[in-house]
Amino acid sequence: MAGLLAIIVIVLAAVLADVVAPYAPDEQIRTALLVPPFWAGGTGSYIFGTDDIGRDIFSRIVHGARLSLFVGLLVVTISLAAGIFLGLLAGFFRGWVDVAIMRAMDIMLAIPSLLLAIAIVAILGPSLTNAILAIAIVILPHYVRLTRAAVITEAGKDYVMASRVAGASKMRLMFDTILPNCWAPLIVQATLGFSTAILDAAALGFLGLGAQPPTPEWGSMLADALQFVQRAWWVVTFPGLAILVTVLAFNLMGDGLRDALDPKMKR
Amino acid sequence: MIGFILRKIGLVIPAFIGVTLLTFALIHMIPGDPVELLAGERGIDPTRHAELKALLGLDKPLWEQYALYLYHAIQGDLGLSIVTKKPVIEEFLTLFPATIELALCAMSFAVIIGLPAGIWAAVKRGTAVDHSVMAVSLTGYSMPIFWWGLLLIILCSVTLGITPVSGRLSAEYWIEPTTGFMLIDSLLSDEQGAFADALHHLVLPSVVLGTIPLAVIARMTRSSMLEVLREDYVRTARAKGLSPLRVIGVHALRNALIPVITVIGLQLGTMLAGAILTETIFSWPGIGRWLIQSIGRRDYPSVQGGILLVATVIITVNLLVDVLYGIINPRIRHTR
C-alpha cells in the first residue's frame, strides 16, 4: 500500500514535472553555484540546493522521475511483449521450438544482468536508447519462462480442449483462450521489472554507458556529482535517494500484488 | 553421481558457446573498421591495411573467424590490449585476485550478518523484530549500490575520517605482489602496519558490495527457516524437551541451510558483476574497473576478453554450486 502511494506521488511528479519543478532541468543559474539545501544554510528557492553549474537539483530530480518512469515503461513493454510472444510459442508448440527458445533463455540467464547489459551497450554504443534496449533484452528470459510455465499449465485444461474441439484456430487458442488466464504472474513480474529497469538504467547512466549528460537522469547525475563527494553532499544524496525510493516503491507494490493475485505464494 | 555431474556440465557448454558468440559478435558489430581502429588516428596505407587484415584473419569467412576465435580462446589466447600491448589474459590474471579478495570479504560480511538476521526474524515471526529485519532487507535489496557507496564515503571517510576513500593500500606502503591477495601479501611482508591498512581499505567496499547479497540471504534464510520450523521433526525435537537454542541451531538450521547455500553460491556470481560498480566508486584495481576503463578507451580486445572471462568464471561458479547442491541434497540428483 505504501508502495502504491509512493508510486502515485512519483507518477504525479513526473507527469506534472513542468508545473512542480520551479526551474527547467538544464537552466543554469550563474549566481547560485553549489548552494546547499534550504535547511543547511541555503535559500528556499532551491530546496535541495544547486549543483556545480547552478542547476536546481529538485527540478532535475522531478524531471528525472519522468525519464526513469519512461525508461521503466518502455523496458517492461518491450520485454513483456517479446517475452509473452516467445513464451506462448514455446509453451504452445513445445518440441524443438520450445527447446530452442528455452536454451537461448538459459544462456542469457547464465550471465549476470548488468554484465550482459554492459556487453550489449558496448556493442551498440552508449546512449539512453541503447541502454533501454539492453535492459529489455536482459530481463526478457524471466517473462518467457513465466509465460511458458503458465501456458503449459493452462493448455492441458478442459476449457482449452473445448475451444479446440469447437474449431478455434491456433492463433485464437494462443492469444484469446490461453493468454488471458496467464496474466497474474506476469503482472507481478512486470512490476518487479520496473524496479530492475530503473535500477539498471541508473547503474548504466552512472557508468557513463546510459543517458549522457546533461540529460537529467538520476544515474548520470550521480556520476557528475562524483567529484563533489568531499564538498557538497547534497549533490550526491538526492538523486540516489530518488532512485532508492522509486525502486523500493515498485518492489513493495510487486510484493503486495503477489500476495493479492497469487495467494498460494503467501506465507 | 558422475552421471549427475556430467549432465550439469552438458548444460553449461551451450551457455559457454552462447557467451563466445556474444563476445565474437561484439568485435564485429562495432561500427567502423577494426583495422583502422587499431591503426589509430594516423591512418594506414592500403597495403599495410590488407596485411593487417590478413594477419587478424578478418579476410576469412565469418564461421571460420569464429572457429579460430574459439580455438584461440580455449587456449587462453584472447589477443593483445590495444592500449598496453600486453596479452589480455595476463592483464586479467593480475587484476583478478583483487576482485576475488573483495568478493570474498563482501560475501563473508553478507553471510555473517544476513544469516543470523534471517534466523532471528523467522524465530520471532510476526513481531517488530521480524518486520524491521524484512523492511531493512527490502531496502537493501532496492539499494542503488553505487549511491550507497558514495553515501558511506561521505559519512565514514569525509565526515568521520575513519576509512580511506579509495584504493587497496595507502601510498606509504609498497608490497610486492606474491599471491595477489593484499591481506596475505601484507601479512607476509615485513612492512609494519600494512595489514591493518589493507584491512581498512577493504571495509567500505566490502560493505557496499555485500549489501544486496545480505538482503537476499536474510530473506531466503527467513523463509526457509519458517518452512522448516513447521516440520514434524522440529516439533518432535521440541517435545523431547531440547533447549530452544538446540532445536533452532541444530535441528532446524541444518535443514534450512540447503536452499540458503544455493543462494549464496548464485550471489557470488552476481557479485562479480556488482563489483563493476563497487570498484568504479572506490578505484579498486580489479577487473570491474578495468572493464569499464577498457570500454571508455575503446580497447575492444580487452572488453571482449574481459566479458568472456568474467562470464566464464560466473558460469563455472554456478556449475560448482549446482554440483555442490547435488552433493548436500541427494534428492536433487534423482529428479529429472
Of residues B30, B143, B303, nearest to A244 (C-beta): B143
- Which residues constitute the domain of residue B177? 93-332
Asked whether residue B4 falls in the same domain as residue B137, the answer is: no
Determine contact: A202 vs chain B, CB below 8 A: yes
A267 is a domain residue = no
Q: Which ipTM was obtained for this model?
A: 0.82
Cell digits for B81?
Answer: 590490449
B81 is a domain residue = no
Going from the C-alpha of B296 to that of each of A41, A154, A207, B176, B257, the distances in angstroms are 38, 48, 10, 29, 42
Contacts of A106 in chain B (CB under 8 A): 11, 14-15
**Cβ count near B224 (within 10 Å):** 22
* SS (HEC) of chain B: CHHHHHHHHHHHHHHHHHHHHHHHHHHHHCCCCHHHHHHHHHCCCHHHHHHHHHHCCCCCCHHHHHHHHHHHHHCCCCCECCCCCCEHHHHHHHHHHHHHHHHHHHHHHHHHHHHHHHHHHHHCCCCHHHHHHHHHHHHHHCCCHHHHHHHHHHHHHHHCCCCCCCCCCCCCCCCCCCCCCHHHHHHHCCCCCHHHHHHHHHHHHHHHHHHHHHHHHHHHHHHHHHHHHCCHHHHHHHHCCCCHHHHHHHHHHHHHHHHHHHHHHHHHHHHHHHHHHHHHHHCCCCHHHHHHHHHHHCCHHHHHHHHHHHHHHHHHHHHHHHHHHHHHCCHHHHCC
* Among chain A residues, CA nearest to B301: A122
Is B27 in contact with B304 (CB distance < 8 Å)? Answer: yes
B86 is a domain residue = no
pLDDT tens-place string over residues A201-244? 999 988 888 888 778 888 888 888 877 777 778 888 888 899 99
Q: Residue A39's domain is classified under what CATH number?
A: 1.10.3720.10
Is A76 in contact with A190 (CB distance < 8 Å)? Answer: yes
B84 is a domain residue = no
- Which residues constitute the domain of residue A48? 2-25+34-261
B83 is a domain residue = no
Asked whether residue B64 falls in the same domain as residue B209, the answer is: no
Of residues A122, A206, A237, nearest to B151 (C-beta): A237
Determine contact: A93 vs chain B, CB below 8 A: no
Residue B310's pLDDT is: 87
Is the full-model pTM beyond 0.90?
no
Asked whether residue B113 falls in the same domain as residue B190, the answer is: yes
C-alpha A129/C-alpha A121 separation (Å) is 10
Is B288 in contact with B278 (CB distance < 8 Å)? Answer: yes
Whether B142 sits inside 8 A of A219 (CB atoms) is no
A63 is a domain residue = yes
Determine contact: A236 vs chain B, CB below 8 A: yes
Of residues A115, A209, A233, nearest to B307 (C-beta): A115
* Number of domains forming the structure of chain A: 1
Residue A101's nearest CA partner among A80, A84, A119, A122 is A84
Q: Residue B194's domain is classified under what CATH number?
A: 1.10.3720.10
Whether A240 sits inside 8 A of B151 (CB atoms) is yes
Asked whether residue B60 falls in the same domain as residue B175, the answer is: no
Q: Which of A118, A227, A258 is best to mutate for the B interface (most B CBs within 10 A)?
A: A118
* Among chain A residues, CA nearest to B29: A123
C-alpha B7/C-alpha B9 separation (Å) is 5
Strand partners, A50: A56
A81 is a domain residue = yes
Of residues B14, B146, B223, nearest to A107 (C-beta): B14
Q: Which residue has the cell 591477495?
A: B181
Asked whether residue B255 falls in the same domain as residue B113, the answer is: yes
Asked whether residue B57 falls in the same domain as residue B18, the answer is: yes
Q: Which of A123, A236, A238, A258 is best to mutate for the B interface (most B CBs within 10 A)?
A: A123
Of residues B14, B296, B303, nearest to A103 (C-beta): B14
Asked whether residue B71 falls in the same domain as residue B119, the answer is: no
Q: What backbone phi and psi angles, to 5 degrees, belong to B111?
A: -70, -45
Whether A219 sits inside 8 A of B146 (CB atoms) is yes
Of residues B148, B158, B273, nearest to A115 (C-beta): B273
Give the pLDDT of chain B (336 residues) as one tens digit per residue: 788 888 878 878 888 888 888 888 877 776 666 666 666 666 667 777 777 777 666 777 778 888 888 888 888 888 888 778 888 898 898 888 889 889 999 999 999 999 999 999 998 888 898 999 999 999 988 889 889 988 888 888 877 877 777 777 776 677 777 777 777 777 777 777 777 888 888 889 999 999 999 999 999 999 888 888 888 888 888 888 888 888 888 788 888 888 888 888 878 878 887 888 899 888 888 898 898 888 878 787 888 888 888 888 888 888 888 788 777 777 766 654
Whether A219 sits inside 8 A of B144 (CB atoms) is yes
Whether A110 sits inside 8 A of B154 (CB atoms) is no
Number of Cβ pairs < 8 A linking chain A and chain B: 127
Asked whether residue B311 falls in the same domain as residue B170, the answer is: yes
B166 is a domain residue = yes
Give the pLDDT of chain A (267 residues) as one tens digit per residue: 777 888 888 888 777 777 777 777 777 777 777 777 777 776 777 778 787 777 888 888 888 888 889 999 999 999 999 999 999 999 888 888 888 888 888 778 777 778 888 888 877 878 888 889 989 988 999 899 889 988 888 888 888 888 888 888 888 888 888 888 888 888 888 888 888 899 989 999 888 888 887 788 888 888 888 777 777 788 888 888 999 999 999 998 888 888 887 665 544
Q: Which residue has the cell 568531499?
A: A230
Contacts of A203 in chain B (CB under 8 A): 144, 146, 277
Determine contact: A45 vs chain B, CB below 8 A: no
* SS (HEC) of A143-181: HHHHHHHHHHHHHCCHHHHHHHHCCCCHHHHHHHHHHHH
Of residues B144, B153, B315, nearest to A203 (C-beta): B144
pLDDT tens-place string over residues A32-60? 777 777 777 767 777 787 877 778 888 88
Whether B144 sits inside 8 A of A106 (CB atoms) is no
Asked whether residue B118 falls in the same domain as residue B166, the answer is: yes
Determine contact: A141 vs chain B, CB below 8 A: no
C-alpha B313/C-alpha B301 separation (Å) is 18
B164 is a domain residue = yes
* Number of domains forming the structure of chain B: 2
Cβ-based burial of B220 (10 A; exposed 0-12, middle 13-18, buried ≥19): buried
